[in-house]
Structure 1
Amino acid sequence: MATSYQQFCPVAKAMELLDERWTLLVVRELVMGSEHFNEVRRGVPRMSPTLLSKRLHQLVRAGVVDRRPDGRYLLSAAGRELRPVVEALGLWGTRWIGELGDADLDPRLLMWDMHRSVVADAVPQGRTVVRFRFPDAPTGSRDWWLVISADGTDVCDIDPGHEVALTVTGRLRALTEVWRGDRTWQDAVGAGELVVSGPADLRRSLPDWFTLSTFARVPRPVAAGR
């Protein structure tokens, strides 16, 4: 745990556990439904495996997370009570911390977020592959494939070899802003910052294939009120 604040205040006692680097983001991933170590890791791609293992161990020891015999990590009753805390932080961050630096843009996290927000009924039946190309992303993270099927959605950073239904090419910032609800698909496509290639009917329906971020519909304050 973090160094004790040496205060009896329950906020201080809670933060002795939760304010260590990455801890609340690990909780966020568990709240979002990740259960296995590698699933949690994909939601915090810049966190080292060693540190992730340490944080999970701390959360288990604190009674926030239960580690099952099959290796799954599940929130305990105490951990589940953190859901509204995580949601409140997301709401507050969306409303009041709106600026994104270039270092905040991460295609690995974006693709992981998008893969768990697929609207299965809106996607054509069978296997549907959407390729995403970010020419401005760092080398090695410019090409991604979401493979959507009745069994779920897989995220691939290596060509899975299946026929691609649609290809989305554009700026990583543009798709991140769409995902966050800062702008619409139509706006980004109309500005030429995202180009969708494929059959016309699939291009038109693509925005309906994803529900966008949990916080995409959070109202933003007007500039004068910030």
Structure 2
Amino acid sequence: MSDRGGYGQFCPVSMASEILCTRWTTLVVRELLCGSTRFNDLRRGVPKMSPALLSKRLKQLERAGVIRSERSSGAPEYRLTEAGEELRPLILGIGVWGQRWVESQVTLRNLDPSLLMWDMRRNLNPDPLPPRRCTIQFLYPEAPRAQQNWWLVVDGRTVDLCGFDPGYDVDLLVKSSLRAMTAIWMGLSGVRKELDAGHIELDGDPKIATAMQNWLGLSSFAGESRKVA
């Protein structure tokens, strides 16, 4: 499985590493564990990965019995096998370790608005929002022009992410530095703290603004306490 050949050891750690430790593979598995099944959705979770390499990794994982592809109509969908599902505690454990032990200022240099918004969409909690369609616009002024504006459209339990204006009235405009919003998403900061510091501005429905910390989709690892190495 390794791009440079195997390790040549019979140890199960070595054999598993030949499958999982090639570049991007654990992140592809992460996206599958989070529920992405279609190629384009997987790409949104790994936006810096080339389509050709993603296709290659999916084929490798399928050959290894970690996933299977299904095609009923249109594009194929990728599903984890029993072997793939057994990776869940391992991948989550890596995330917990990274949240607790990797220095936070290092992680906050890896800023990516498209990945941030995709993860926020995935984990957003619609319960604190009004029982109607709500449109929340995020503006990151320092991001490249094509990645400055994002819209989350919440309709019932459905949350859509748009990189273009969907044409609905905006219920809340969130103007934020990308670093501040990433820190909130990672659980390293909070909405109130970033508002008080002037790193975030909210304009719109005051009830939606007040409840932002409750509806905002945070990282699955945000509740893990930091450790000092």
TM-score relative to the length of structure 2: 0.94
Q: 2:99 maps to what in 1?
A: 94
Aligned residue for 1:108, secondary structure, equals helix
1:208 pairs with 207, 210, 214, which one?
214
Deviations 1:94-133 (A, max 9, x none): 1111333665100000000000112122221121110000
**Residue segments in structure 1 that go unaligned for 5+ positions in a row:** none
Question: Could you tell me which amino acid in structure 2 is paired with residue 54 of structure 1?
Answer: K
Aligned residue for 1:131, secondary structure, equals strand
TM-score relative to the length of structure 1: 0.95
What is the alpha-carbon distance in structure 1 between the residues aligned to residue 213 and residue 107 of structure 2? 25
Question: Which deviates more, 146-155 or 20-29?
Answer: 146-155
- Write out aligned runs for 1:57-136 (5 A): 57-70=59-72, 71-97=76-102, 98-100=104-106, 104-136=110-142
Deviation at 1:21, TM superposition (A): 0.7
What is the alpha-carbon distance in structure 1 between the residues aligned to residue 39 and residue 144 of structure 2? 25
Q: Is the 8 A contact 2:119 2:217 kept in 1?
A: no
Question: Could you tell me which amino acid in structure 1 is paired with residue 50 of structure 2?
Answer: S
- Residues 129/100 of structure 1: CA separation in 2 closer, same or farther (3 Å cut): farther
- Write out aligned runs for 1:1-226 (5 A): 1-2=1-2, 3-70=5-72, 71-97=76-102, 98-100=104-106, 104-150=110-156, 152-221=158-227, 225-226=228-229
Percent identity for Structure 1 against Structure 2 = 45
Q: Is the 8 A contact 2:126 2:157 kept in 1?
A: no
Question: Could you tell me which amino acid in structure 2 is paired with residue 91 of structure 1?
Answer: V
Greater than 6 Å deviation, 4+ residue runs: none
Question: Could you tell me which amino acid in structure 1 is paired with residue 85 of structure 2?
Answer: R
Aligned residue for 1:57, secondary structure, equals helix
Deviations 1:148-174 (A, max 9, x none): 112511111111110100011010000
Question: Could you tell me which amino acid in structure 1 is paired with residue 177 of structure 2?
Answer: R
Question: Which deviates more, 63-72 or 106-115?
Answer: 63-72
What is the alpha-carbon distance in structure 2 between the residues aligned to residue 87 and residue 72 of structure 1? 23
Aligned residue for 1:79, secondary structure, equals helix
Q: Aligned pairs, how many?
A: 223
What is the alpha-carbon distance in structure 1 between the residues aligned to residue 62 and residue 158 of structure 2? 29
Question: Could you tell me which amino acid in structure 1 is paired with residue 186 of structure 2?
Answer: R
What is the alpha-carbon distance in structure 1 between the residues aligned to residue 170 and residue 13 of structure 2? 50
Q: Is the 8 A contact 2:108 2:183 kept in 1?
A: no
Superposition RMSD in Å: 1.2
